[in-house]
């Protein structure tokens, strides 16, 4: 890289921009792969993500929040324990900071509904109160309590992935940061 030229970087930049559409393709592929993961839940993880996004959209959430709701468990395609950080890292360049943080902390916020069954602290969300603004904390609460934790219903409202594909393509069309 130390020996590269501005002209070479111009080519790399143009090729990267030209291929930005592959990001949405890869995100959709990862989402589809969640249909193979159930891990004891009443629905597979794709259905769970679709329900979460459906609930968020029907509640009037904006497009970035809806796409983040859809992608919040995308990290489970790679690692269940690390899934919030994986999903948040994928979303970070494409969504505003409060949406990124909503996904980054979502497991601790959802923990209110189940951590006690694993010997954990159901009030784990409180450890984030000093690092999140009141608005960020409120959004993370709403996400976890109203959409995420109730979205394991085999008969629940579930828009198909095709319904969300235009939003996924729109949100992942260009990165706000590297």
Q: What is the pLDDT of residue 74?
A: 97
pTM confidence score = 0.93
Q: What is the pLDDT of residue 89?
A: 97
By the 8 A CB rule, do 137 and 35 touch?
no
Mean per-residue pLDDT for 22-34? Answer: 96
Count of CB atoms situated within 10 Å of the CB of 88: 23
In this model, does residue 28 exceed pLDDT 60?
A: yes
Within its chain, how far is the Cα of 28 from the centroid? 12
Give the residue ranges of DSSP H helices in 72-178: 83-91, 97-104, 106-110, 134-142, 161-171
For 129-162, write each residue's pLDDT tens digit: 999 999 999 999 999 999 999 999 999 999 999 9
In this model, does residue 177 exceed pLDDT 60?
A: no
In this model, does residue 124 exceed pLDDT 90?
A: yes
């Amino acid at each position: 890289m130390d020996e590269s030229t501005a002209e070479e970087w111009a080519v790399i930049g143009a090729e990267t921009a030209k291929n930005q559409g592959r990001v949405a393709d890869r995100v959709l592929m990862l989402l589809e792969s969640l249909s193979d993961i159930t891990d004891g839940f009443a629905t597979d993880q794709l259905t769970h993500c679709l329900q979460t996004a459906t609930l968020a959209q029907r509640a009037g959430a904006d497009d970035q929040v809806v796409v983040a709701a859809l992608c919040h468990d995308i990290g489970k395609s790679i690692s269940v324990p690390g899934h919030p950080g994986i999903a948040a890292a994928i979303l970070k360049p494409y969504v505003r900071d409060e949406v990124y943080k909503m996904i980054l902390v979502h497991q601790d916020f959802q923990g209110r509904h189940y951590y006690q069954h694993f010997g954990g602290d159901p009030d784990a969300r409180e450890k984030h109160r000093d690092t999140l603004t009141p608005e960020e904390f409120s959004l993370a609460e709403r996400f976890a309590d109203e959409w995420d934790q109730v979205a394991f219903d085999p008969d629940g409202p579930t828009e198909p992935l095709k319904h969300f594909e235009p939003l996924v393509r729109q949100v992942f069309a260009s990165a706000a940061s590297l």
